[in-house]
Amino acid sequence: MENWREISEDIVSSLLEDGSDPEILYEVEHHFVCEDFPKLEQAALAAFKLGYDVEEPAELELEDGNKIWSFDIVVEAELDVDVIMEDVDKLAQLAVECEVEYDGWGTYFQE
C-alpha cells in the first residue's frame, strides 16, 4: 500500500503553494478501479451504504489495450490533510475488503 498520508500532504501543499483558496470546501474525488465489474459494483454499493456519493462506473481502456472498470466517490471537504485522510483511511480499507484498488484522490485548484 502506498503512503496515502504523504501523497495527501504533497497534494494539499502544492495546491496551497499555488494559491488555492484554503477557506472553501473542495470537491474531493476518490478513485477506485478493478478489472472485475461485479467486485467494483460491490465496492460502490458498500460505499453508498456508508453514505458516500458514488458516481456511475465507467469502462476505461488502458494504454496496452486492456480494459478496466472505475468509479469515483465525490466528497466535499476542507483542503486539510487530516480531514481528507479520514475518508482515505475508510475508503482504502473498503477497497481491501471488496478486493478492488483504491487509486487515490484528487481535487481542483480553487481561487
Residue 17 pLDDT class (50, 70, 90 cuts): very high
DSSP3 helix / strand / coil % (the chain, rounded to 5): 40, 30, 30
CATH of the domain at 60: 3.30.70.970
What is the pLDDT at residue 111? 84
The amino acid at 92:
A
Average pLDDT of the residues of the chain: 94
On whether residue 110 sits in a domain, the answer given is no
Residue 97 pLDDT class (50, 70, 90 cuts): very high
Question: Which three cell numbers, joined as nine digits, stand for 1?
Answer: 500500500
The model's pTM is 0.91
> In angstroms, how far is CA 51 from the centroid of its own chain?
15
pLDDT digits (tens, 9 = 90+) for 24-61: 999 999 999 999 999 999 999 999 999 999 999 999 99
What is the pLDDT at residue 110? 86
Look up the domain containing 86 and give its range.
2-105
For the chain, the domain total comes to 1
On whether residue 36 sits in a domain, the answer given is yes
